[in-house]
Structure 1
């Protein structure tokens, strides 16, 4: 099964943000959206999730299901969206916040099965010590992990992650990306992640799409897409690309320790 985004246009009044975006995300694949700030990464995800209404374009799942035609509850059974920050206007503890992901699946009150999904998500994200605490008391990183757990409890077919590691320390960044890749493959989810870190995207994403000024400039495997020339074109910095042990590392050349880092990466290879 494939999520197919075709000729997506979006803007605010006369300000155009997306210009004919075409993308596909396959079941069992983690697709990374890369690009400078303002390139349209988050906007693409918000259009898929129907937080924004596109000027034009279509979203097809399995070639037959038009996401734009689904009712909200039907869409929520299919698509889970993880925003950059959690926003609640009333007190919820961690389990209550996560069970909100199950609302498309039950009527009235959550069942024992719903709470089982919640508890599995809590275990996967290492949130056990936080159970019972209000989400308003959590740090930004802890709250982000609650959002991800909520999306997992939702059991989506399409998972949209909007810079989910931006508020996390390095330990939880890597844990979250490993988990995203694991869930994508084991649950056969089509996942799209907006991400800034080029090396992390190269390590964890199956394919990468580069966006700039609302246009898709390149799509392909990290090895094909992450080139020094393209990164300099998009970000205005010179980098070295190191291929080591089947992964790609992006090392800025203008940092004082770049020579040491380059030698270390080469030795590791």
Structure 2
């Protein structure tokens, strides 16, 4: 499913005095990962919430396969877009992991869960490598395990666009790589699109096909990640020097 954003503007407050997004436009195709990059306060989370229709832009349009989100019902949107929050641990009280993932089936049920819903739940647990945790309380999991379970829930939703709010925050280096490897695998195998807020620029360079670099609500650059993360752009936005080096056949971004 393609995602097209054209001229999106969003403001908080009365009389729209505080403009957070200032004419954002981008295109994302199936089987691509988009990195949403920028310093704190640049509009990254606001953009993600506009895509998920949690916030309504004052101007511009967001299209899924040519269908305007503003003309779609919340149910139809939830069948197209799944959202992995940053801090779901505080919000979810369901006893075990299986039930957390089963919640992803809610947009598809009319009365009660059926065999198909349970089968898909087990399949998604397998795909994320957390089947063995099915009976565990969600709040007993490590940060890396929690993130995998939330991704399994998003997959159970069978949406074509996956939104991830800082999927690697509060994770050690090993789990950061594992989570992003999982995102890459899911996107490639299922042909879905993913949009992820990422603070680690080297992770973005490694895993994201495209990136949008924001600063104070403006687009600094949008395109292929290697074209976005130039030393000039990084210096302009983050105020640090950097370089890209090839190590063991892979490009890595190094902050100097």
Do Structure 1 and Structure 2 share a fold, with TM-score over 0.5? yes
Give the structure-2-normalised TM-score: 0.92
Bigger drift between 25-34 and 81-90 goes to 81-90
Alignment-derived partner of residue 47 in structure 2? 44
In structure 1, the residue corresponding to 2:112 is in which secondary structure? coil
Structure 2 residue runs of 5 or longer lacking an equivalent are none
CA distance in 2, matches of 1:228, 1:182: 29
Bigger drift between 133-142 and 119-128 goes to 133-142
Moved over 6 A (4+): none
CA distance in 1, matches of 2:93, 2:178: 29
Shift of 1:245: 5.7
Alignment-derived partner of residue 219 in structure 1? 222
Post-superposition CA distance 1:80-119 (Å, at most 9, x none): 0111111435333111111111111112221111112111
Determine which structure has more spread, i.e. the larger CA radius of gyration.
1
Q: Figure out how many residues of one structure are paired with residues of the other and give that number.
A: 252
Kindly indicate whether the alpha-carbon contact (under 8 Å) linking 2:11 and 2:19 is maintained by their aligned counterparts in 1. yes
Alignment-derived partner of residue 179 in structure 2? 176
In structure 2, the residue corresponding to 1:181 is in which secondary structure? helix
Bigger drift between 70-79 and 131-140 goes to 131-140
CA distance in 1, matches of 2:102, 2:192: 20
Bigger drift between 138-147 and 54-63 goes to 138-147
- The change in CA–CA distance for 1:191 and 1:238 in structure 2 (over 3 A counts) is same
Shift of 1:25: 1.1
Structure 1 residue runs of 5 or longer lacking an equivalent are 254-269
**How large is the RMSD of aligned CA atoms in angstroms?**
1.6
1:241 to 241, 244, 247: 244
Where in structure 2 are the equivalents of 1:160-199 lying within 5 Å? 160-199=163-202
Kindly indicate whether the alpha-carbon contact (under 8 Å) linking 2:52 and 2:83 is maintained by their aligned counterparts in 1. yes
Kindly indicate whether the alpha-carbon contact (under 8 Å) linking 2:144 and 2:179 is maintained by their aligned counterparts in 1. no
Shift of 1:246: 5.6
Where in structure 2 are the equivalents of 1:17-32 lying within 5 Å? 17-32=20-35
- The change in CA–CA distance for 1:134 and 1:28 in structure 2 (over 3 A counts) is same
Alignment-derived partner of residue 213 in structure 2? 210
Shift of 1:248: 2.5
In structure 1, the residue corresponding to 2:170 is in which secondary structure? coil
Shift of 1:193: 1.0
Kindly indicate whether the alpha-carbon contact (under 8 Å) linking 2:2 and 2:193 is maintained by their aligned counterparts in 1. yes
Bigger drift between 50-59 and 122-131 goes to 122-131
Where in structure 2 are the equivalents of 1:86-97 lying within 5 Å? 86=88, 87-88=90-91, 90-97=93-100
1:126 to 124, 129, 139: 129
Give the structure-1-normalised TM-score: 0.88
In structure 2, the residue corresponding to 1:22 is in which secondary structure? strand
2:102 to 83, 99, 103: 99
